[in-house]
């Protein structure tokens, strides 16, 4: 048996007792020997065997058997795990490092039992599902709004009549339905035509499964490699060889200057992009001039806007910083 170790404490592992001595094994014992010794002692000191007996002499009584059984279980829990056993052996060999033993013991006791990887995976999946259904809700909201706009509704109704879709809803005989059912079916037909004919961009565009967080994380290495290859190609073509920018490259530079995402830039009208190209906004100096012009135009609009006039009037007469008495 191992020699008694100094520095044992009641709050760590087996307390003042050495776990190897509790199970009656040596420090070189294998996991099978430790498990065999634990099973033998557990059968011998199980509290059910001492139920109903008085707590009289030594080794008798349910309470004493229960305490002995808990000590045996603590020793087995300490020695059955390789990492915990390694920490315990280190404590026996270095009893003076009390605070280190205290830290390692409670770090293992208080560490979460669930794998952190599983928690992160479940969280990402939950966010992705919520993201996908939220985008679908926004897309359906945009379709419902467009179906209520007379301009788009009339065009969709005309296309449905030309394709003969509305005539199928007004059947006679046994298949005749109520007006409410016919109206609902016509509404769905109009919405389907709007979905197929109108290209919605921006925040209300049709959601794609590759845009959710889970797929973005999985495809991140591919996107990074693709970006590195593209960046090297850009440096080689336009910096080293000095080639002129194409239309796509010019629009890319303009979008970067405007600090807009790809979806935001795609939602702009075609005539706006043509204006950008005509004014050569991919050149930094031209873009700075255009930016100042837009800021001045915005200031003029704000100055002429009645709402802003009312706001400035309120700030001057009744806004913060003025103290008045109000007559009831």
What is the number of structural domains in the chain?
3
Sign of CA dihedral 256, 258, 264, 270: negative
203 and 122 housed in the same domain: yes
Predicted pLDDT at 324: 44
Using pLDDT thresholds of 50, 70 and 90, give the confidence band for residue 208: confident
- Assign residue 62 the CATH number of its domain: 1.10.287.110
Q: Do the domain assignments include residue 7? A: no
If you search the block for the tokens 């179906």, which residue do you land on?
147
Confirm whether 219 is domain-assigned: no
Give the domain-ending residue among 77, 110, 143: 110
104 and 161 in a common domain? no
Residue 324 lies in a domain: no
Retrieve residue 23's tokens.
Answer: 């199970």
The answer to whether residues 295 and 270 belong to one domain is yes
Residue 17, Cβ density class (10 Å: 0-12 exposed, 13-18 middle, ≥19 buried): middle
The domain boundary residue, chosen from 192, 207, 222: 207
Average pLDDT for residues 28-54, to the nearest whole number? 81
Q: Where is the domain boundary, 90, 110, 130?
A: 110
Q: Give the whole-angstrom CA distance, residue 197 versus residue 37.
A: 77
State whether 40 and 106 are in the same domain.
yes
What's the pLDDT at 173? 52
In a domain, 75, yes or no: yes
Question: Which percentage of the chain shows pLDDT scores above 70?
Answer: 80
Cβ neighbourhood burial of 59 (10 Å; 0-12, 13-18, 19+): exposed
- Domain presence at residue 218: no
User: Could you tell me if residue 228 is inside a domain?
Assistant: no
Q: pLDDT tens for residues 7-34?
A: 466 678 787 788 888 888 888 888 888 8
Residue 195 located in a structural domain: yes
Q: Which residue has the higher pLDDT, 135 or 309?
A: 135
pLDDT, tens digit, for every residue of 66-113? 888 888 888 888 888 888 888 888 888 887 777 787 777 777 776 666
92 in any annotated domain = yes
Q: What average pLDDT does the chain have? A: 79
Report the C-alpha gap between 40 and 42 in whole angstroms.
6
If pLDDT is split at 50, 70 and 90, which confidence band does 176 have?
Answer: low
Domain encompassing residue 252? 244-316
């Amino acid at each position: 048996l191992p020699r008694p170790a100094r520095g044992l404490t009641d709050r760590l592992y087996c307390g003042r007792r050495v776990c190897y001595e509790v199970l009656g094994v040596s420090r070189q014992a294998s996991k099978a020997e430790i498990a065999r010794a634990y099973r033998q002692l557990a059968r011998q000191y199980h509290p059910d065997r001492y139920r109903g007996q008085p707590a009289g002499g030594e080794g008798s009584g349910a309470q004493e058997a229960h305490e002995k059984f808990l000590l045996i279980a603590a020793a087995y829990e300490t020695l059955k795990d390789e990492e915990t056993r390694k920490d315990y052996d280190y404590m026996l060999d270095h009893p003076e490092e009390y605070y280190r033993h205290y830290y390692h013991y409670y770090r293992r006791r208080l560490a979460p039992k669930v794998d952190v990887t599983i928690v992160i995976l479940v969280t990402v999946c939950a966010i992705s599902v919520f993201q996908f259904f939220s985008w679908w809700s926004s897309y359906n909201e945009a379709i419902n709004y467009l179906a209520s706009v007379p301009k788009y509704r009339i065009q969709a109704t005309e296309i449905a009549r030309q394709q003969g879709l509305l005539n199928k809803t007004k059947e006679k005989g046994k298949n005749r339905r109520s007006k409410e059912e016919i109206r609902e079916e016509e509404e769905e037909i109009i919405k389907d035509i709007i979905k197929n004919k109108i290209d919605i961009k921006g925040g209300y565009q049709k959601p794609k499964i590759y845009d959710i967080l889970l797929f973005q994380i999985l495809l991140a290495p591919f996107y990074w490699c693709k970006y590195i290859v593209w960046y090297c190609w850009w440096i080689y073509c336009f910096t080293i060889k000095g080639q002129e920018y194409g239309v796509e490259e010019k629009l890319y530079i303009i979008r970067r200057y405007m600090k807009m995402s790809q979806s935001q830039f795609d939602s702009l009208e075609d005539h706006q992009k043509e204006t950008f190209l005509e004014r050569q906004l991919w050149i930094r100096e031209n873009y700075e001039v255009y930016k100042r012009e837009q800021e001045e135009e915005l200031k003029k609009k704000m100055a002429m806007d009645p709402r802003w006039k009312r706001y400035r009037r309120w700030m001057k007469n009744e806004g913060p910083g003025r103290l008045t008495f109000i007559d009831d």
